[in-house]
Every structure is written in C-alpha cells, then in structure tokens.
Amino acid sequence: GQSLEQPSEVTAVEGAIVQINCTYQTSGFYGLSWYQQHDGGAPTFLSYNALDGLEETGRFSSFLSRSDSYGYLLLQELQMKDSASYFCALYRDDKIIFGKGTRLHILP
Amino acid sequence: AAGVIQSPRHLIKEKRETATLKCYPIPRHDTVYWYQQGPGQDPQFLISFYEKMQSDKGSIPDRFSAQQFSDYHSELNMSSLELGDSALYFCASSPRDRGRRYGYTFGSGTRLTVV
C-alpha cells in the first residue's frame, strides 16, 4: 500500500516563504505531484517530480528525494490568493493517490 | 481553452435513490478518472478509463458503476444511495502519455447530497 503524510495546517505571512513537507511510504511509484485546491474548487496541478531534485515553476518549487521518501513544496512571495489546501500526490499504476492535504493560512 | 465539464453541479437525492453523474473530458484526452472527496478529506480515487476500457479501480463501492462511451464522455452511476455518499465527485482527464508530467485536469465537480 501507500500512505502520504503532510502537516494538516501551516500558517505564514504575506510576502514570506513557506515550505510544505510530504513523507510517504510506498512500494513503488512514478513520481510525486502537488495540487492546489481552494475551498469548494477543483484540484489544480502545480508540479511534478519524477526524479530527485528541485523543479521550479514561477513562485512554486517542488523537491523530491526518493532515498529519504520525502518531498516538499516551496511557495515564495506568498500572496493572499495562495490561501488554499495543498496536496502531495503519488503517481502509481494508472492513478494518483492524494495525501491528506495541508491547509495554508496566510496572514496579512 | 476547453475544460473538463461535469454535470450536474449540484444534486440532491434521497436515500436508496439512484444518481448519474456525467463527465466530458478535454478533447483528445484519452483517460478519465473519477474521485470522491468528502468534507475536509482528500480526494479518493474511484475508477479510471483509458480508451473506453476500465484501466484501474480504487475504493469504489459495488453500488457504483461507471463507463466511458465512444465519444469519451464518462458516467458514474450510483445506486441505493446512502447518507455517507454525500460528497464532491470530481472527474479528471489527461492524455495518457503526458498525464504524469503535466498533471490531470479536474472538472468543477458534482456536489451530491443524500438526504
């Protein structure tokens, strides 16, 4: 089986940097993705790491270390609109398995 | 750009009734996925289809069935509805060979309320 662990909530200040961690236990997967979901909205794809290392997309970066079973999402120059839930997700077989999600609160 | 279309947006049903949710994927996306998301929960994978054939199955109750049609739209049929079936149901689509790198595109979801 597989399980992904993330903090349930994180709070940061507007303009700051925040890191959301994700640890996992699985017997095999293609890669690790991150999705953003605003309240009542649909999950939106942010990033994908197939290999170890850092992937950067604008204000968002994602990191994967397969040897440590660990990944993170880094959000820079936080904006109020970044207040949302963030899910790490494993690609396994023909589907993605979501973590429990981290709710990001941003203070002005 | 075209998105994933789901209908209806909201649905209220009574216990033991049936419901049908529809999903129209992005054109040229050959894979469709269904997810169920309870309040405050993560999306749970139900079932997926590739080229109109079931490709993977998750924690989908036997009361639920799904299929993908020749025009690639998909329907999720839910029978003998229970209160616990109340949730947001998302459909997502992707091109199979690029789904991992570029992610799935999710529809806006159908909010099912069972009373």
**B44-98 pLDDT, tens digit each:** 999 999 999 999 999 899 999 999 999 999 999 999 999 999 999 999 999 887 7
**pLDDT score, position A26:** 83
**pLDDT score, position A2:** 61
| CA distance linking residue A9 with residue A20, whole number of Å | 9
User: How far does B62 lie from chain A, in Å, by closest CA?
Assistant: 19
Q: Which of residues 24-83 of B touch A (CB under 8 A)?
A: 31, 33, 41-45, 48, 50, 55-56, 58
**pLDDT score, position B85:** 97
Q: Name B83's Cβ contacts closer than 8 Å, sequence gap at least 6.
A: B15, B114, B115
| CA distance linking residue A57 with residue B71, whole number of Å | 34
Amino acid at A78: L
Let me know: does B104 contact B92? Beta carbons within 8 Å.
yes
Contact B102 A100 (CB under 8 A): no
**pLDDT score, position A3:** 87
User: How far does B49 lie from chain A, in Å, by closest CA?
Assistant: 9
| One pLDDT digit (tens) per residue for chain A, 108 residues | 568 999 999 999 999 999 999 999 986 888 999 999 999 999 999 999 999 999 999 999 999 999 999 999 999 999 999 999 999 999 988 889 999 999 999 999
User: How far does B15 lie from chain A, in Å, by closest CA?
Assistant: 24
Q: Name A16's Cβ contacts closer than 8 Å, sequence gap at least 6.
A: A78
